[in-house]
Amino acid sequence: MKFKFRMLLKTLLILGMSTAMVVFVINLEVLKKGREMCDSNDPQAQAALVFGALVWNNNQMSDIFRDRVDVAINLYREGKVKKILVSGDHGQKDYDEVSAAKKYLLEQNIPAEDIFLDHAGFDTYDSLYRARDVFEAQSLALVTQKFHLPRALYLANALRIPSCGVAADLHYYSGETKRNLREVVANVKAWLNVTVHSGPTFLGEKIPLSGDGRNSWN
């Protein structure tokens, strides 16, 4: 009995160490390839892709999300991008990241026709896949925080979308440890998406960035 118990512990230990090693190697690849991509605060791109983030119950954007939108606004006003594409989660009627950002963008006098909304950007892979296949993006400035940029750039490279990363770290954000742990898991998911050539959750009709953004609002 004691021998079997020791064998079980040994097997579990080997499996745990093997899993940890695989996760480490995958994360290393994602981070390495992501950091090899362009990471610049002076991009020139067709559009700024703003990745969605938490929206509170009162339809107010979290600091992380608002900072992303503010950086995209600056890129637009400086003429570095021609359009703003906000991609986020609107999978439930009472939770809508992209419309909260749209309201804020309009309040900042961004022309309505230059605001594009992707209601089915449920994760970074979906956002980039749909930016390419639904919105026909030719080049993108990926606007997000530094902890997220390597994964976003890795996926953009894998999907062959010419992209630069623009950091949106305008404040200190609490919960750094939790975010870093989440990124470890998210990097593995991103690698799996690329490896098995996953499709997005939804596709749909094409809404080219060369057209009117209001066509994407519904």
Residue 97: the pLDDT is 93
Residue 41: the pLDDT is 62
Instruction: Give me the half-sphere count of Cα atoms (radius 13 Å) on the Cβ side of residue 27.
Output: 15
For the chain, what are the domain ranges?
24-216
Residue 133: the pLDDT is 97
In the predicted model, residues of the chain with pLDDT beneath 70 are 1-12, 36-41
Per-residue model confidence as pLDDT tens digits over 109-137: 999 999 999 999 999 999 999 999 999 99
Residue 24: the pLDDT is 79
Residue 22: the pLDDT is 75
Burial of 172 (C-beta count, 10 Å sphere; 0-12/13-18/19+) = exposed
Per-residue model confidence as pLDDT tens digits over 1-36: 666 666 666 666 777 777 778 777 777 788 777 776
Give the whole-angstrom CA distance, residue 33 versus residue 134: 25
Going by their DSSP bridges, the two strands 81-87 and 163-167 should be labelled as unpaired
Residue 4: the pLDDT is 64
CATH code of the region 24-216: 3.40.50.620
CB-based contact 115:105 (threshold 8 Å): yes
The position carrying tokens 């079997």 is 4
Residue 37: the pLDDT is 62
* Percent helix / strand / coil, the chain, rounded to 5: 50, 15, 35
Residue 3: the pLDDT is 60
